Amino acid sequence: MQEETNWIPRSFQEAAKNLAKVAVERFVKPDRVVGLGSGPMAAAIIREMANFDRKETLECIPTSFQIKLEAQCSGLKLVDEDRMPEVDVVFDGADEVDAKFNMIKGGGGALLREKIVHSAAKQIVIAVESRKFVPTFSWPVPIETHPFAVHIVRKKLEDAGGRPKMRMLKEGYPYVTENGNFMLDTSFDFPPDIRKHEVELKSIAGVVEVGLFTRHADTYYKAQEDGSFDAIEL
């Protein structure tokens, strides 16, 4: 379930470089507060920010330890969450984007912090490979759950028609998020109203956050295998 990584399939690497240059030129301006989300395409944008001629004026908020290291290697200035209300733009990826531009995120485990940054950002920019644009969701929804509540949350998810599965490490231990929580990757037969579904899942006591993202991005970059990309504006 670890899809939101910084590894880009070879066939999409040229597209990642091309869209990263365009995204940085368009959205990165001096003195901006920038949210740094996850995913290989978002990581490519972060690496491109290293070439921004006034990068020392940027203040960046990473959403995971992995992205924090990426930003540090790119020479970007990192700031604390007290700058969150001032986020100008967030660059992020997704595990899937459906026909109505809802997203499933959380394959890399950072969905809570990503959703917080999304809620604060004035603009959202999503960059993903074309294969991740789908008519309807097929991925399980990552559901970050407090350890105390994992058994009751599992039961309530089953009652709601879900098929939850505890995310595990290859060593056989439960995956633990950077926030100290467990992840229940839950398959559903998705209803037509994804926003309502997101709210219903979030209302279960013990659920910390849900990997359904129904706030639409301002721009989606759709990377193609031939090195080109499409920009979708909403």
Q: Hey, which residues are catalytic here? A: 114
| Type of residue at 180 | G
Biggest CA-to-CA distance, the chain: 54
Residue environment code for 210-228, b if the CB has 16+ CB neighbours within 10 A, otherwise e: bbbbbeebebbbbbbeeee
Distance separating alpha carbons of residues 130 and 96, to the nearest angstrom? 10
Residue environment code for 165-181, b if the CB has 16+ CB neighbours within 10 A, otherwise e: eebeeeeeeebebeeeb
Tell the residue number behind the tokens 């969450």, with chain if given: 81
Q: How buried is residue 206: exposed, middle or buried, by Cβ count under 10 Å (0-12/13-18/19+)? A: middle
Distance separating alpha carbons of residues 59 and 34, to the nearest angstrom? 6
Instruction: Answer whether 210's CB lies under 8 Å from 201's CB.
Output: yes
Q: How buried is residue 134: exposed, middle or buried, by Cβ count under 10 Å (0-12/13-18/19+)? A: middle
Which residues sit opposite 97 in a β-bridge? 103, 133
